A and B are shown apart, each in its own frame.
Chain A
Amino acid sequence: MSLPGMQPVRAGYLPGIDPAEVAWQVLAFERAGASLQVEVPVLTAAQMAALAARVRQAAALHLRPMPVAQIIDVIDRAIARLLDRAGPWRQRAEALLPAVSGYDAEMVRLGLTGFFKTFRAPQLRRFVAEDFANPLVLDGFQPAAKGGAVRAFGPDLLVHSWAGNVPALALWSFVCGLLVKAGNIGKLPSAEPLFAGWFAQLLAEVHPPLADCFAVVWWKGAGGEDADALYAQADTVLAYGGNDALDAIRRRLPVTTRFLPHGHKLGFGLVSAGALDTLDAPPLARLAAWDVMRYDQQGCYSPHVFYVQRGGAVSPRGFADYLAAELANLHRRFPRRPLPVDEAAAVAHWRQGIEWKALSAAPGAPPGAQLIGAPADAWSVAYADTLGPLAPTALQRTVQVVAVDTLDDVPPVVARHKPFLQTAGVAAAPEELHRLAALLGAAGVTRVSAIGAMSTPEAGWHHDGRFNLLDLVRMVEIEASAETAAEPFARYAD
């Protein structure tokens, strides 16, 4: 797609700030001949502080009194517009998100639809019900079983530090913040600086009283005084990124600020011999390939390794070949994005590392992994006959297949990297699924899904094993003693 002569696109959402008083920095995106310029706002510390105060105040005034059911209705209407392929918001997303991310346009289109569907009203209600047995606690005091009453308050100001070249990823935490009625200010990721600002505009369009209840900002790198000014006012900070970046954010927060980090994760799949008959194995490999293909493995749930049990009608090596063939097919349908030189180098580095390890193996030692596919292919499968330590691949559709005698050998190997575990895709019979899930859960896995669904988490999932909404709120209790003590002061007291 080419975008000739396009005006720079403005990103962000800054209620109450005159754009003329903002310094705008241009981020240039060059992908396969198409170029796009995005202007992101650089605020002064004073502007940031004023923005934070404005959002905090507006949220207290307009968002907090709204019943959750009404907030869900507003989000649902905004999402309906994003699902409407003829609508201007959706068309903008389909045109520009591939341009900034480099992902195949058709992959983005499919991905967006699947993703937005998880934010429709029924799914949002499930989302809330997952964390609150009685969602009304978000609206007012509800009777508590132990006596008295209880109500959940979201933060006055929730600050998000978004990551990501998975387009529209900001939606998860943005919606969480809205459902708990927080004032929300999010920092755009430089890799995808567009979607969050659009969603903010769209919400304001759907329900104008919300217009000042959130903002979308940007800063360079870790940020300077601008970021400090914002962090200083946050009650809660939700951040996505590598552990170094998360640590840097944590160190600049006051100890009283709640910090909810989501670090980078590594997904893997388990395939039981029972799932490898000659009829089931090829479609299973196709599903596995879809999980690898979606957003070129950039999601925290994306698989890096498939552990495949020996003894099925299709061997682990056979499964690896099917997987390679499916990745080759998918590349024709959804081409991998063109890689800049440093990312191409990382992929080459990973492949060459496997190759040299095999070349330098001592005689008689295990031969190491074999690479399936040519260096110039836009995908790689490395097949290993022996179980080694868990290691990430180079992403960009590079995946390992490891043969094992029993899947029970896998949990102890992955457990050594507990902080990095999240999703495990499992293909096995029901009894085996449950037995493995217990072992995987103990090892550190927080989500077990079907292979093929690894990269599309369901609505209401517990991201990184945490409560998306409960973690954000503060429970306020009216103890029974207070209610009892109040009685004598009633006008009608006897």
Chain B
Amino acid sequence: MDKVAPLVADILAFIAMPGGCTDSQFDALALRLFAHQYTANAAYRTFCQRRGATVRSAQRWSDIPAVPIDAFKAMELRSEPPSPTERVFMTSGTTRGGETRGRHFHPRLEVYDLSMQRHFAERFMRGAERLPMGILFPGEDLMPNSSLAHYLALAQSRFGSPGSRHFVDANGIDLAGLWQALEAAERSGQPYALLGASYSFVHVLDALREEGRRFRLPAGSRVLDTGGYKGQSRELPLDAFYEALSQALGVPRSECINMYGMTELSTQFYDDGNAVVPSVKSGPHWIRSRLVDPATGRDVPPGERGILVHCDLANYNAVTTILTEDVGEWAEGGGFRLLGRAQGAQAKGCSLAVEEFVRAASA
């Protein structure tokens, strides 16, 4: 604990730093974290050594080997020993069905929380101190292992004005309550913020269409969706989704923000609205990304698509650098476009692919 405290303090200071950081500042902290995690986690150390990466050989953040997110399922990726007060965020486990869930251990949440607040304030609040908020997701008490539940609860407690509330509980979405809140917002003329899981928005859109109603939320209102559909609602193409959202709530698509986050990270990415899809996502100064060829782990040539690797300096206990299953491409002028999940071998022949087998085996 004592050994970690100064490191945590430095990370907090790094996140709080105004005006971003230089490349060498990022490298310095990334390599310090790498040394910490490399020393504390034997399995990670072996993984790195097999890739020829040691504390001595890594010179830049991009030299840190990326751990595939499946490793969060296979083992406990942690640098600090378990403690009774730690929070454990688990992956939803719905995308690949039936498997064990990945776990991300947070001995304390101050780093996660600062990372979330600092970037959320900049990208979603954009100068507003507080806004009335509706949350289309269950509260933390119902989903203590959901990083998204914590994220949204934090958004509400830190940035929501009084009267902000959750509209989803164990019984589902409280549509009547939501309609009332949206009506009140329309009457008040004050901007309103609606945040939640993408699939919850699909259910809301379906209900609105069925009832033949729509809202015109006041100017400055905004929407934040995240997480995709995860098989919990019908799949809507991005363009149709944001068009419907904008029509139903009277919020321009440029004010419909999508957050891209992962249980395995402690920092989120946002776009600047979805007038054009797929939107360009970007993160704050304490996270950097690469696009790699999944076979070799090397950067793809400019202009080509690759698998996203993120080095998140707020991930101080697990590993800083993870290999996602998300396909991306660089955008001109910074940031990246998400092009969906690498679904893997969509069996085009007649040979059985892993995905289908796993689904059959878990059925």
Contact = CB atoms under 8 A, between A and B. Distances in A.
Contacts of B356: 242-244, 264
Contacts of A392: 351-354, 357
A353 interface: yes
A348 B346 CA distance: 15
A375 B84 CA distance: 39
Interface string B342-362: 111111111111101100110
Contact of A163 (B296, B342, B348, B357): B348
Given A163-B350, A341-B294, A392-B353, A349 B68 contact: yes
Contacts of B354: 346, 350, 391-394
Interface in A236-280: 240, 242-244, 262, 264-267
A353 B300 CA distance: 22
Contacts of A356: 43, 47, 68, 70-71, 74-75
A261 B119 CA distance: 52
Contact of A299 (B75, B306, B351, B357): B351
B344 A349 contact: yes
Contacts of B360: 243, 417, 419-420
B348 A339 contact: no
B299 interface: no
Nearest to A164: B349
A115 B293 CA distance: 35
Contact of A265 (B43, B342, B352): B352
Given A420-B357, A420-B360, A345 B70 contact: no
Interface in B316-344: 323, 325, 327, 342-344
Given A242-B347, A376-B296, A395-B353, A359 B342 contact: no
A12 B15 CA distance: 59
A345 B307 contact: yes
Nearest to B46: A359
B343 A342 contact: yes
Instruction: Determine which residue in B71, B306, B348, B350 has the highest number of CB atoms from chain A within 10 A of its CB, and name it.
Output: B350
Contact of B348 (A164, A344, A347, A376): A164
A240 B70 contact: no
Contacts of A264: 347, 350-353, 356
A420 B343 CA distance: 21
B297 interface: yes
A360 interface: yes
A348 B294 contact: yes
A239 to B, nearest CB: 11
Contacts of B216: none
A195 to B, nearest CB: 14
Interface residues of A, number: 52
Contacts of A189: 348
B344 to A, nearest CB: 3
Most A CB contacts (10 A, CB to CB) among B43, B306, B327, B345 go to B345
B130 interface: no
A166 interface: yes
Contacts of A355: 47, 50
Given A164-B350, A295-B349, A342-B344, A375 B295 contact: yes
A300 interface: yes
Contacts of B71: 352, 356, 360
Contact of B295 (A169, A265, A348): A348
Nearest to B71: A356
B74 A357 contact: yes
Contact of A344 (B47, B75, B294, B351): B294
A184 interface: no
Contacts of A302: 349, 351
B101 interface: no
A300 B348 CA distance: 11
B351 A360 contact: no
A297 interface: yes
A103 to B, nearest CB: 11
A297 to B, nearest CB: 5
Contacts of B347: 242, 264, 298, 395
Nearest to A374: B296
A394 B351 contact: no
Interface string B64-90: 000010110011000000000000000
14 contacts: A163-B349, A165-B349, A166-B349, A191-B348, A295-B349, A304-B352, A342-B343, A349-B325, A350-B354, A355-B47, A359-B74, A376-B295, A393-B354, A396-B345
Given A164-B349, A348-B295, A394-B354, 20 more contacts: A163-B348, A164-B348, A191-B349, A242-B347, A264-B347, A264-B350, A295-B349, A297-B349, A300-B349, A341-B305, A341-B327, A342-B327, A345-B307, A346-B344, A348-B294, A348-B307, A352-B70, A375-B295, A392-B352, A420-B360
Top-4 shortest CB links A-B: A298-B349, A346-B344, A360-B75, A345-B342
